[in-house]
Structure 1
Amino acid sequence: PYSYTLDEPRDRGLWAIAAAALGGQTRVQLLPPIGYGVELKDALRDTTLKEAGITVTTVLFSLAATPEKENHGALLDYLVKRVPRGVAVLLDESPLLERIGEQVGSERVAERHALWRQFCSFHGTSAHVVNLLQPDKHPLELGAGLALPELR
């Protein structure tokens, strides 16, 4: 997670989404959140990005955050250069919906979805909207759109 700490219900939702997208035997290794504006070399110093047993590297952002080139974009650029198998982005809409309401803010949520998807595409990643409090709301395809031949 980047500038986003998961509570217990959202943590369970992340596990459910991973199992649905990658299979029931999926293991999730959730690294500590990277703080907003933290130097990436320091935050990821002890992280092995090319480890053999890792199937997919995923970055989790809150859809409530506004994407910023200097922060969110810098993280995506850093990872895209260092992760040969690709990087997937999960955008959790649950914090935004809690703040503005699902019915009232549907147009705003759709705009935010589009903004983040365009931003992630610009930075060479694919973005997938999820709702960690309602894991079945936006199901992911097997492999989350990444080239993962071992899953096919």
Structure 2
Amino acid sequence: AQRIAAAKPQAVVMLLTAPQSVTFMKQLRQAGYTGQVLGSTNQSAGMIAPAGPAADGLVYPVDFSASMDTPESKAFVDAFAKEYGEAPDPYAAEGFDALWWIARGIKASNDSSRDGVQKGLAQVASQGFAGAMGDITFDGNDMRVPGVVVKWQDGKEHLLR
């Protein structure tokens, strides 16, 4: 961290696990680095919060953030917060969309057998759907979501445009 701060780069890319990134951000800021830090999805779901103010300004991509503003995302965030008293994290959104994909698949095939579910999932995947994570499409068996880039500031994520 001291060597990086002394070099005064315009930006630092941090590819660390969540606990490592907390320690790194604190040490980097303590060493005097004030530039931009870019992270990964490892810092999402509040994992960077233990770094406190040292994490302010960290930018990273996520497949879902409670700060997303699509109608489906907002509805999911509102319903989740009402039920659980806190904002959902990416894992909650992924699980929600996965279960709704299965439900849509069963409805599309009108058959809850293994073959019926598989047929329905394929049908829904061919059309895609709007979920908590945004417009969900599929490339073969791979689910694709638009994702967003967020900035961690004052203890929460803020959507960047």
Q: Which has the larger radius of gyration?
A: 2
Instruction: Name the structure where strand makes up a greater proportion of residues.
Output: 2
TM-score clears 0.5? no
Tell me the TM-score normalized by structure 1: 0.28
Tell me the TM-score normalized by structure 2: 0.27
